[in-house]
Amino acid sequence: MSAPSIGALRDRLTLQALNQTGDGGGGATVMWMPVADVWASIQPITGDERLRADAVTGRVTHKVWIRYRADVLPDNEHIFTLHVWSQARGKKEAHKIMGALRTALHDQSLTLPGHRLINLRHEHSEARRDPDGETIHGIVRYRATTEPA
């Protein structure tokens, strides 16, 4: 599969790098520091449903593409934000869409050429009214950690 065109990179990611600082007592303070905000393409490639603990669960795998960067290392964490908009009355539809995104992505596996996904975690969701007073804007943020395959 070839890389998507630059116009197909419509999802925003924040790349982060691990920063460890010694605390003087033999331990360390560990923080993830932002490296860059980049555009990406996140595409679902497969999906299935499974019965687990008497409940049906869905699973979707995705491909994540960004343009080449020399500073993107295997120990980077990736934060990406998805946006949804609804013109339905109230926030119910936006919350339903954000819930579907969480079901599809949270703690799921992704296909990442040359890397293995350690985890993919939902971090934050919110729905708020846009300045036009009619549109509901949903914001959903995820964090992914990878390592070389």
Q: Which segment of 25-29, 55-59, 120-124 scores lowest on mean pLDDT?
A: 55-59
**Cβ atoms of residues 126 and 83 within 8 Å:** no
Q: What is the pLDDT of residues 92-105, one digit of tens each?
A: 999 999 898 888 88
3-state SS of 40-63? EEEEEEEEEEEEECCEEEEEEEEE
Q: Which segment of 64-68, 109-113, 129-133 scores lowest on mean pLDDT?
A: 109-113
Which residue from 29, 38, 52 is spatially nearest to 10, judged by alpha carbons?
38
Task: Assess if residue 1 is contained within a domain.
Answer: no
How many residues can be counted in the chain? 149
Which residue type occupies 128? R
Residue with tokens 């996904």: 117
**Cβ atoms of residues 51 and 59 within 8 Å:** no
Residue range of the domain that includes 105: 6-148
pLDDT at 49: 62
Could you give the number of structural domains in the chain? Answer: 1
Task: Assess if residue 77 is contained within a domain.
Answer: yes
The answer on pLDDT for 54 being more than 80 is: no
Q: Which range has the top average pLDDT, 20-34, 63-77, 80-94?
A: 80-94
Q: Return all residues near 109 (Cβ < 8 A) that are at least 6 apart.
A: 59, 61, 117, 120
